[in-house]
């Protein structure tokens, strides 16, 4: 078996496990919220229903949500012929449906892909990417994003973004319930102690849940970047194009840029929040991407 396809299968198995953990965490939060309200079963049922609804929304329309969040607009061949023709040519060479093409009007170079499968996917690039990369570098970036689409990374990343955001949202609600809901329905010393214990447990869940959700999101995205880099280099036959593009993109990220968005940073080819700082070992644990220097090193060793 081709090593790339073996790694794809392994990553998919790991991702399904991570989504299972998402579901457990969501149910855990619902359980303790239910206890606080007086009926844990109700809390679990509500958490399950919300989880399923959000999963379906992210599956069928996640790419629309993501492109709107990123401020991207769809373009046709007449609007951006150079970009459109590049995506079209690579799609034909790969024997895959052409994704819809979007552009983000900012001079900070970057790109991402989103969607649920090769038939329903989008590729978005910034104006700065088009202005700063040559043809081979642009092809490397587009091939990288198409690799995410073909490997079904875009489905997993899009759903992860929605679920992680939802867990954070539920945790915020839980904290507000504790701040403004008082001690609950318990009465007397015994009841008060029981309610206090439940509130303390809920407080722990509310604090840890967002951290856990973010760690799961990071785990989904980081190793997939290496795989997408290798797949793109294998596809174009020119690893240096993507390596050179990564150098330019990484070095030209700026603080507080228009594309800096905590919810979407894992989708971009280079994390807009880190940029040139992505090689800082202190931030590796909480980084959505592997260090850019390591990605470039691996590409140039191919």
In sequence order, what are the beta bridge partners of 126?
104
Give the DSSP H/E element, type plus range, for residue 219: helix 188-236
Closest to 138 measured CA to CA, from 209, 89, 183: 89
What is the radius of gyration, based on Cα positions, of the chain?
22
* Distance (Å, whole) CA 116 – CA 162: 13
Q: At what angle do helices 239-251 and 188-236 cross, to 10 degrees?
A: 130
* Distance (Å, whole) CA 21 – CA 227: 23
Is 145 assigned a catalytic role?
yes
Closest to 249 measured CA to CA, from 275, 227, 218: 275
3-state secondary structure of 126: strand
Catalytic pick among 145, 225, 260, 265:
145
Structure tokens at 49: 């229903």
Asked if 164 contacts 219 with a C-beta cutoff of 8 angstroms, the reply is: no
Closest to 198 measured CA to CA, from 183, 180, 211: 183
* DSSP track, 140-188: HHHHHHHHHHHTTHHHHHHHHHHHHHHHHHHHHHHHHHHHHSTTTT--H
Asked if 216 contacts 164 with a C-beta cutoff of 8 angstroms, the reply is: yes
CA dihedral 289, 286, 179, 186 (to 10 degrees): 100
* Residues labelled catalytic: 145
């Amino acid at each position: 078996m081709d090593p790339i396809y073996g790694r794809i299968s392994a990553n998919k198995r790991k991702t399904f496990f991570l989504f299972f953990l998402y579901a457990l965490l969501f149910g855990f939060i619902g359980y303790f919220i239910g206890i606080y309200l007086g009926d844990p079963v109700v809390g679990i049922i509500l958490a399950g229903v919300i989880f399923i609804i959000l999963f379906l929304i992210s599956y069928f329309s996640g790419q629309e949500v993501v492109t709107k969040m990123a401020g991207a607009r769809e373009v046709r061949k007449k609007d951006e012929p150079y970009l459109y023709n590049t995506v079209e040519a690579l799609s034909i060479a790969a024997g895959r449906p052409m994704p819809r093409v979007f552009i983000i009007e900012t001079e900070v170079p970057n790109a991402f892909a989103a969607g649920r499968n090769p038939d329903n996917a989008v590729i978005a690039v910034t104006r700065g990417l088009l202005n700063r990369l040559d043809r081979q570098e642009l092809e490397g970036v587009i091939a990288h994003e198409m690799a995410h689409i073909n490997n079904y990374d875009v489905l997993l990343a899009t759903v992860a973004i929605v679920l992680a955001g939802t867990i954070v949202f539920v945790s915020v609600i839980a904290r507000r319930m504790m701040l403004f809901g008082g001690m609950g329905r318990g009465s007397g010393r015994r009841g008060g102690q029981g309610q206090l214990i439940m509130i303390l447990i809920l407080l722990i869940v509310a604090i840890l849940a967002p951290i856990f959700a973010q760690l799961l999101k990071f785990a989904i995205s980081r190793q997939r970047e290496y795989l997408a880099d290798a797949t793109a280099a294998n596809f174009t036959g020119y690893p240096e194009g993507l390596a050179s593009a990564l150098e330019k993109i990484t070095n030209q990220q700026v603080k507080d840029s228009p594309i800096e968005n905590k919810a979407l940073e894992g989708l971009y080819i280079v994390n807009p929040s880190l940029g040139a700082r992505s090689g800082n070992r202190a931030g590796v644990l909480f980084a959505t991407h592997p260090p850019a220097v390591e990605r470039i090193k691996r590409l140039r060793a191919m």
